[in-house]
Each structure stands twice: as C-alpha cells, then as structure tokens.
C-alpha cells in the first residue's frame, strides 16, 4: 500500500482541470482496495474512487484520498465475459471482438475503464451498456463485503444508474460481467452509423467497430490531445407537451421519441442554436467540433470549467426554457 501526498489532479482526469489531492494511491487488487479504504475510515479521511478519470471534474482541490483502481484481468466462459474494473474500456471491447464475440462494437473508443462504464451506463450509436451487462461485483466498505448486483439492481436509465444515486460513496465496482453474442447482429439504428453501410451491410463486428472509430475520431475531440470529458451535458428528456411547444416555435428542432417514454432533445443542437458553439471563457471552450463537449486546452481549474457550463445552461434556458443537466460527475 503506497500513499502519495499532494498529487496533481490534472493528469488523473481527461478534463485535466488543475488542482491537488491531499493523498493519492492505486489499488491493483481487492486486498489493497480494502486496506486503503480501511486506512481512510480509521483516519477519517474522505476517499474517492477513480478509474480513467474520463467522466469526472474536480471542482478545486480534493481534501482526501483519490484511489485509482488499476486491477486487471478478463475471463471468458462461452459468450459470458468478465473484466476487472481497471481494464481499459476500449482495449476490453477490442478483446471481446478478437474472441469472436459481438455486442460491444458500437461502444468502441469510449474513453475510461470497465469499472466506470456502468456508473453512467455508457451509450453510443444506439447501444447502451445496460443491454449487454449481466452483473457487477461490488465492494461495500461499510460492511466490508463483496456482493453481486444484477442488471435490474443497477437501476439503469439514460446515462444513469444506482451508482450515481443511493450507492454514491457506498459501493466500489470491482468487476463487470457481460453476456455477449457469438453470432453477429448489426445494430445500425443510429443514422450516422447506418450511413456508413448504405452500400453494403457490415459482415462483422470488426467492420462496425472500425466505422464507429472513424465517426468518433471525426466528430469528437481526442482527450489525449485536447483535454475534455466527452459530452458535458445530457440530452434533455421532455414531456410530449413540451415537445409540442418547442416544435411549434422551432420547426427544425430535432426531437426523438425515447425508450424511456418521453421525448429526447439534442443538447448539442440547443447549445449550437443558443449561439454557444466556440464560446470561450478563461481558457475553457465549447468545442468547435461538437457543441456538447467542453474542452480545457488551458488546463484551467474545475471552477472555471463549471463557470462556462453555467453560462451555457443559462443561455439555453433563456432561449428555449430548457434546463441542461451536467453529465460528468462533479467532485467538490
Ligand atoms: N448537433 C449540433 N451541433 C453539434 C453537434 C451535433 O447541432 O455541434 C446535433 C445534430 O443535429 C446531430 C445531433 O446533435 O444530429 C446529435 O449529435 P450526435 O450524433 O453527436 O449525438 P449526441 O446526442 O450529441 C450522444 C452521446 C455521445 C455519443 C453520441 C453518439 C449523450 C450526452 N451523448 O451525443 O456520448 O457518442 O450520442 O451516440 O448522450 C459521451 O457521453 O461522452 C458521449 C460522447
């Protein structure tokens, strides 16, 4: 168990927001994780689990211990695969395809780790993790116990799960199990992806993966080059009455019927139309590649990032009467 004092937070997250953590440690296995949390409990130190840091914004310094999960390992049993929390998500997706299993290809190139993926129920190009995840193993520090949670236990919804609600700070995901397919079944409901195959249908999951990678590289800024946390806002879910009101006022507005039973708006479109694209404040910018993404080329603090987010929310609210919800986890 190695604990480092006064660690820079910037390199630990893809948003690269400046700041410092009082303590930092890595947990490469479950025993180290238990020991670190026990240490924090005994010394009354706050602790915060981190994976790849791709969906997190620290708002200033963190007066506690950041514990980065680095545990590795993946197993296959038929079409069921399990990966440890510290595995890189995209490496894991590539490995499942190499194994001849499909299902996760639409979720290619999403930054972050396997353990973080269920927290926000990652989704892209018409597929959500919840459709393929079978169960997670979690560690409960309060009772010092490991338990399995089923998909239903996780209360998945659009970019949401029990890990963002009741279980915040109470459970640590240590491994995730997926039920995949041995027979390839293309999922091309998302128009931008379907366009890639208008001439010839894909013959393999690897072809879909390659297309998703092409689209993402073209449309989203690479966090390894320009710091960002992916989509900074959720696409708002609205009622049928609100959808009617907006369509009559803004006939071009993209509105999609959502599986949750409501209507979903495109946050990127709202931000764009509210004149926020390329908006910049103190080194933080609304990406000119994709209006949903805030970039932090100047490696400004979380407070500066959140100030720009508030400005975007205000302008969208003034123009459309819609409130945008922040998507990454904000840690104060
Ligand atoms: N649009 C604009 N301006 C822009 C970009 C997009 O007006 O600058 C409009 C266009 O009308 C476009 C529509 O927004 O057709 C939708 O854009 P896109 O296909 O990029 O999808 P999204 O709804 O903006 C969501 C996810 C992404 C995911 C893509 C693809 C959320 C919050 N975001 O974005 O997820 O990759 O769909 O499935 O649901 C992430 O969560 O970090 C993330 C990148």
Give the pLDDT confidence score for residue 255 in this predicted structure: 94
Q: Are residues 60 and 93 in the same domain?
A: no
Strand pairing partners for 231?
293
Q: Are residues 110 and 184 in the same domain?
A: yes
Among 134, 119, 89, 120, residue whose Cα is nearest residue 107: 89
DSSP 6-29: EEESGGGSTT--B-EEEEEEEE-S
Give the pLDDT confidence score for residue 327 in this predicted structure: 95
Give the pLDDT confidence score for residue 23 in this predicted structure: 98
Give the pLDDT confidence score for residue 262 in this predicted structure: 87
- Could you tell me if 303 and 60 are in contact, meaning their C-beta atoms sit under 8 angstroms apart? yes
Q: Is residue 229 part of a domain?
A: yes
Strand pairing partners for 113?
88
Q: How far apart are CA 202 and CA 32, in angstroms?
A: 44
253 lines ligand 1 (CB under 6 A): no
Strand pairing partners for 175?
84, 137
Give the pLDDT confidence score for residue 309 in this predicted structure: 98
Q: Is 161 a catalytic residue?
A: no
Q: Is residue 260 part of a domain?
A: no
Q: Are residues 201 and 114 in the same domain?
A: yes
266 lines ligand 1 (CB under 6 A): yes
Q: Are residues 82 and 138 in the same domain?
A: yes
**What is the distance between the terminal CA atoms of the chain, rounded to a whole angstrom?**
26
| Ligand 1 atom nearest to CA at 126 | 38
274 lines ligand 1 (CB under 6 A): no
Mean pLDDT, residues 27-38 taken together: 97
Q: Is residue 102 part of a domain?
A: yes
Number of domains in the chain: 3
Mean pLDDT, residues 95-104 taken together: 98
Q: Which of 21, 231, 287, 301 is labelled catalytic?
A: 231
147 pLDDT more than 90: yes
pLDDT digits over 243-283, tens only? Answer: 999 999 999 999 998 776 789 999 999 999 999 998 999 99
Q: Is 327 a catalytic residue?
A: yes
> Which pair of tokens denotes residue 86?
């510290």
Give the pLDDT confidence score for residue 122 in this predicted structure: 97
Domain of residue 213, CATH code = 3.30.465.10
> Which pair of tokens denotes residue 38?
């026990």
Residue in the structure block whose two tokens are 């195959």: 197
Give the pLDDT confidence score for residue 301 in this predicted structure: 96
- What is the extent of the structural domain holding 55? 4-69
- Could you tell me if 324 and 270 are in contact, meaning their C-beta atoms sit under 8 angstroms apart? yes
Q: Are residues 154 and 277 in the same domain?
A: no
Domain boundary among 15, 36, 69: 69
pLDDT digits over 168-178, tens only? Answer: 999 999 999 99
Q: Are residues 65 and 110 in the same domain?
A: no
What is the average pLDDT score of the chain? 96
Q: Are residues 78 and 212 in the same domain?
A: yes
| Ligand 1 atom nearest to CA at 220 | 44
| Ligand 1 atom nearest to CA at 289 | 8
pTM, whole model, 2 decimals?
0.95
- Across the beta sheet with 263-265, what order do the strands follow? 237-238, 263-265, 255-257
Percent of the chain with pLDDT over 90: 97
Give the pLDDT confidence score for residue 258 in this predicted structure: 79
Q: Is residue 254 part of a domain?
A: no
Cα dihedral 45, 51, 55, 56 in deg (nearest 10): 20
Q: Are residues 112 and 61 in the same domain?
A: no
Strand pairing partners for 263?
238, 257
> Which pair of tokens denotes residue 81?
């695969």
Q: Is residue 37 part of a domain?
A: yes
CA of 174 to the centre of ligand 1 (A): 29
The SS3 assignment for 314 reads helix
Q: Are residues 301 and 179 in the same domain?
A: no
Give the pLDDT confidence score for residue 69 in this predicted structure: 98
Q: Which residues of 253-263 are buried (b: 16+ CB within 10 A; e: fewer)?
A: bebeeeeeebb
237 lines ligand 1 (CB under 6 A): no
Q: Is 159 a catalytic residue?
A: yes
327 lines ligand 1 (CB under 6 A): yes
Q: State which of 109, 111, 120, 124 you would mutate to test the pocket of ligand 1, scoring each by most atoms of that ligand within 8 A of its C-beta.
A: 124
Mean pLDDT, residues 163-186 taken together: 97
| Strands 237-238 and 263-265, bridge-based pairing | antiparallel
> Which pair of tokens denotes residue 205?
């999951």
Q: Is residue 277 part of a domain?
A: yes
pLDDT digits over 204-253, tens only? Answer: 999 999 999 999 999 999 999 999 999 999 999 999 999 999 999 999 99
292 lines ligand 1 (CB under 6 A): yes
Q: Which of 159, 209, 287, 301 is labelled catalytic?
A: 159
């Amino acid at each position: 168990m190695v604990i480092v004092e006064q660690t820079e937070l910037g390199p630990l997250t893809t948003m690269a927001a400046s700041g410092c953590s009082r303590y930092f440690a890595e947990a490469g296995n479950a025993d180290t994780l238990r020991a670190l949390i026990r240490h924090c409990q005994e010394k009354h130190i706050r602790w915060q689990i981190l994976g790849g840091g791709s969906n997190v914004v620290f708002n200033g310094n963190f007066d506690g211990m950041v514990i980065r999960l680095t545990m590795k390992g993946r197993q296959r049993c038929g079409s069921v695969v399990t990966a440890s929390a510290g595995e890189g998500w995209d490496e894991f997706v590539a490995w499942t395809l190499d194994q001849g299993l499909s299902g996760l290809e639409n979720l290619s190139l999403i930054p972050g780790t396997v353990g973080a993926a269920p927290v926000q129920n990652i989704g892209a190009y018409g597929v959500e993790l919840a459709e393929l995840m079978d169960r997670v193993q979690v560690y409960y520090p309060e009772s010092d116990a490991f338990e399995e949670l089923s998909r239903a236990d996780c209360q998945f919804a659009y970019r949401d799960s029990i890990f963002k609600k009741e279980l915040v700070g109470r459970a640590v995901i240590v491994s995730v199990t997926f039920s995949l397919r041995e027979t390839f079944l293309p999922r091309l409901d998302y128009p931008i992806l379907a366009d890639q195959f208008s001439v010839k249908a894909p013959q393999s999951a690897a072809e879909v993966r390659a297309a998703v990678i092409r689209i993402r590289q073209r449309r989203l800024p690479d966090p390894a080059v320009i710091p960002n946390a992916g989509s900074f806002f959720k696409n708002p879910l609205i009622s049928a009455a609100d959808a009617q009101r907006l369509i009559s006022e803004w006939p071009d507005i993209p509105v999609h019927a959502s599986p949750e039973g409501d209507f979903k708006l495109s946050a990127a479109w709202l931000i764009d139309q509210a004149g926020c694209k390329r908006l910049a404040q103190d080194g933080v910018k609304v990406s000119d590649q994709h209006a949903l993404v805030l970039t932090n080329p100047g490696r400004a603090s979380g407070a500066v990032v959140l100030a720009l987010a508030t400005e975007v929310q205000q302008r969208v609210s003034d123009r459309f009467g819609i409130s945008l919800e922040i998507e990454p986890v904000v840690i104060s």
